[in-house]
Amino acid sequence: MGCFFSRRRKPAQGGQQQPAGTGQDAAAGAEKAPQYSWDQRAKIDPKDYTFSGLKDETVGRLPGKVAGQQFVIQDCENCNIYIFDHSATITIDDCVNCQIFLGPIKGSVFFRDCKDCKCIVACQQFRTRDCRKLEVFLCCATQPIIESSTGMKFGCFQYYYPELALQFKDAGLSIFNNTWSNIHDFTPVSGENNWGLLPETAVVQDYVPLPSSEELKAVRISTDATKSIIPITRGRRQKSSDESCLAVFFAGDYTTANARKLIDEMTGKGFQLVQTKEVLMKAEDAHRVFQQSASDFIPLLEKGPVVALEFNGDGAVEVCRSTINEVFSGTKVFVSESKASASQDVDNFYNFADMQMGM
């Protein structure tokens, strides 16, 4: 069978086909080979997207050097590894006693047969198999899964460098969708717990140090929790109070900035940020979540996804409402009406959001 793009040469007069490339007429009539976009792309060398068989080394990739490609890390020991860029997928196999930073991953990150590693990871999907003693500061858009793994510890992703926000966007990840503590153990053992949470006082830099190589020092990193690109949430840690408050910002030019501003205001006043979510809503969803206030907010839902924040602490509802009135007086925001209704507001929204995201 011929190629789809092949062309049959017309025979010369007299029924005989003239040999290709002979005679002036053939030279003049020869067609230039077509050029296709895939022929003009830069050739990908897998070695540029692989760290393999390294020992006692510090290695990494600077922003812009991975640019959405898939990456492989394997058979490394006692290494510090940094991927300061977004990628498609990353697999980490048979690594021992490594410290690893992985920038935003559009798809999945899969750890297999690794042990005694400390990691900072942002991804759409997180999975481990046959791993032992991994400590992970995690941002994961979907429920993280561990399988045949023990001694796993998790904390909330916290990291900053100037290019990181755009990398999250390029990877299609929202900084507000982070289920870092909602771990699913695919192979639980009766009477044992294969995973737990890192201490609240855990300092990222004590687990994954800043890079020591001159090349990687060029990345302007901050591990200060207050500068983290991801809002630091309590997740499934025990709440300090029976009172929570739901605040929902609607899509607009300053949605992210407004949400970050409210987080700073509330945490600065001693309240805890429990969880955040960014999700699209429809009119029927609004009736379930906003109830009697739904009609005020339905027109705003057509503009894009909403950003929801749950704060916890005694007096959270009153302080959140007064802060919204003082700081965001010209912005339409849904806030729980009262302490009595707040818990139901939180449950209604996050149950809906988890269903939307398949969790």
Per-residue pLDDT for the chain (359 aa), expressed as one digit of tens each? 444 333 344 444 444 444 444 455 545 455 566 666 555 556 778 889 999 999 999 999 999 999 999 999 999 999 999 999 999 999 999 999 999 999 999 999 999 999 999 999 999 999 999 999 999 999 999 999 999 999 999 999 999 999 999 999 999 999 999 999 999 999 998 888 999 999 999 999 999 999 999 999 999 999 999 999 999 999 999 999 999 999 999 998 899 999 999 999 999 999 999 999 999 999 888 888 888 888 989 999 999 999 999 999 999 999 999 999 999 988 899 999 888 888 888 988 988 888 777 66
Q: Measured between alpha carbons, how far is 322 from 359 in angstroms, rounded to an integer? A: 33
Specify burial of residue 187 (Cβ count, 10 A radius: 0-12, 13-18, 19+).
Answer: exposed
**Rounded alpha-carbon distances, angstroms, from residue 334 to 48, 99, 117, 291, 294:** 48, 42, 42, 11, 10
Q: What does the block give as tokens for 157? A: 């992703």
157 is in an annotated binding site: no
176 is in an annotated binding site: no
For the whole model, what pTM was predicted?
A: 0.86
**Rounded alpha-carbon distances, angstroms, from residue 274 to 55, 345, 354:** 40, 14, 15
125 is in an annotated binding site: yes
DSSP string, 125-173: EEEEES-EEEEEEEEESS--EEES-BSEEEEE---B-TTHHHHHHHTT-
126 is in an annotated binding site: yes
Q: Measured between alpha carbons, how far is 286 from 349 in angstroms, rounded to an integer? A: 9
What domains can you pick out in the chain, each with its CATH number? 47-218 (2.160.20.70), 239-358 (3.30.70.141)
DSSP 92: E
